[in-house]
Structure formats: structure tokens, C-alpha cells
Amino acid sequence: MATAGRTIHRLRTTRPTKSAESAAMGFYARHVLPRLIDLAMGSRPLARERAALIPAVSGRVLEIGAGSGLNLPFYGARVTRLSALDPSLPLWRLARSRAAGVAFPVEFAAGSAEHLPFEAGAFDAVVTTWTLCSIPDPGLALAEVARVLAPGGQLFFVEHGRAPDQRVRAWQDRLTPLWRRVAAGCHLNRPIEELLGWAGFRIASIERDYLPGPRPFTYRVRGVAGIRA
């Protein structure tokens, strides 16, 4: 528009329509987020945690929140078959080459750990690595894990969660509302050991520590638990 010899350029700022917003979110969830998760979860400190836990797993195994299959290379020869459950098919697609490299059958199930599509007592071991932080109802998921474990079966876990230090906890509480929006529902402040206890698990072994990085994000527990008699 021209006024008194000056040209004024107006910026048109329009809100994207609802369908444009949801298309963008769909693109982000399908194509961007899976690669970001694969990249972030593939770090060397996390690989060391996998190496310390996964080789001890044996028999019929269920992995909840299997993601992009980053645990697959760490399973040993005593695994007879693996059911990998995750709600995200795009994430699991990134696991194809890793699944091709293992010596046992792998089946993928699309679903939520809160409603496991398996018979009671179907597994000798269940594995969860950095997943209880993202499941909307982790208590329900752990009750389901207890249901599908065979008598004497064990839960193998590495999870980040609520730290023992008050100042770190305060930051975890402050950051979680924003963090869960950008990190696919991840909570920094879940009390992992308490959740296991409330679901009827008895911890057989556990390591507690901060991994490298900012403390609100890195407090982790790694261990093995069975069902209380």
C-alpha cells in the first residue's frame, strides 16, 4: 500500500487452520519424533546401561515400549523369542535392520502396555528401558506386566525418574509440565521404585545413580524385580 510517497508492507499473520496444525503434528509424530527418539536413545551412556542389563535376559521375552529396537543387539543366546510392544509403528520401523541381526524370532505388537494383548503367564522375562516415564498410567502397565509374567519370571528395568535429592526433585517437578509436551509424554519425576512396589514387585537387585548430563534428566535406576509371593 502506498501512502504519501511511502510504501507500507503489511505482514499477514494468519493462524494455521486446525487441519494444517494437525497435519503438521502428524508429520512431526510420524517422521521427526521417531528419528529424534532413536538418536537420543542411541547415546553411548545409554548403550552402557543396556550392556549391563540386557544380556542376562532369557527365555520368552516381552519388551514394553521397545521403541526403535535399540536393545536388540544386546540380547544373548538364551532368549528363545521376543515380543516387542510399542504404540508407535514409525518408531518400530527403524528397528527392522536391528531385528534382522538377531538369532531368535521377533514379533512386533502395536499396542499399549496398559492393555497387554497376551495370555497370563506367557513370558519368562519382561524388559522395560526408559519407558515407564512415558506410559500414561504406569501403575496399570506394571499390573499388566505382573499378569503376563510366568511364576518365577522377572522384570528387567532401566528407568529414569524421581531423584533422591530435594533440589533435583524440585527442578524435575518444575520442568515436567513443559518437558512432557516436547518429549512425547515423558515425565521426569516418576517414583520408579515406589511404582514397582505398589504393583507387587520385590526388587532383587538395583543400581541407583546419575548418568552423565543435567541431573533432573539423568537419575536412573537399573535392576531386576520379581513378583512378591
Ligand X SMILES: C[S@@+](CC[C@H](N)C(=O)[O-])C[C@H]1O[C@@H](n2cnc3c(N)ncnc32)[C@H](O)[C@@H]1O
Q: Output the smallest distance, CB 146 to ligand X, in A.
A: 15
166: number of Cβ within 10 Å: 7
Using an 8 Å Cβ cutoff, are 115 and 85 in contact?
Answer: no
Using an 8 Å Cβ cutoff, are 54 and 71 in contact?
Answer: yes
Does 55 participate in binding ligand X (rule CB under 6 A)? no
Q: Output the smallest distance, CB 10 to ligand X, in A.
A: 44
Number of residues this chain uses to bind ligand X (CB under 6 A): 20
Short-list 157, 25, 31, CA closest to 89: 31
Of 10-18, 61-69, 142-150, 216-224, which segment contacts ligand X by CB under 6 A? Answer: 61-69
Does 82 participate in binding ligand X (rule CB under 6 A)? no
Per the listing, cell 514409525 goes with 90
Does 83 participate in binding ligand X (rule CB under 6 A)? no
Restricting to residues 128-157, name those near ligand X by CB under 6 A.
129-131, 134-135
Q: Distance between CA atoms of 128 and 113, rounded to whole angstroms?
A: 10
Q: Output the smallest distance, CB 130 to ligand X, in A.
A: 4
Strands 123-129 and 201-210: unpaired
Binding site for ligand X (CB under 6 A): 37, 41, 64-67, 70-71, 86-88, 91, 112-114, 129-131, 134-135
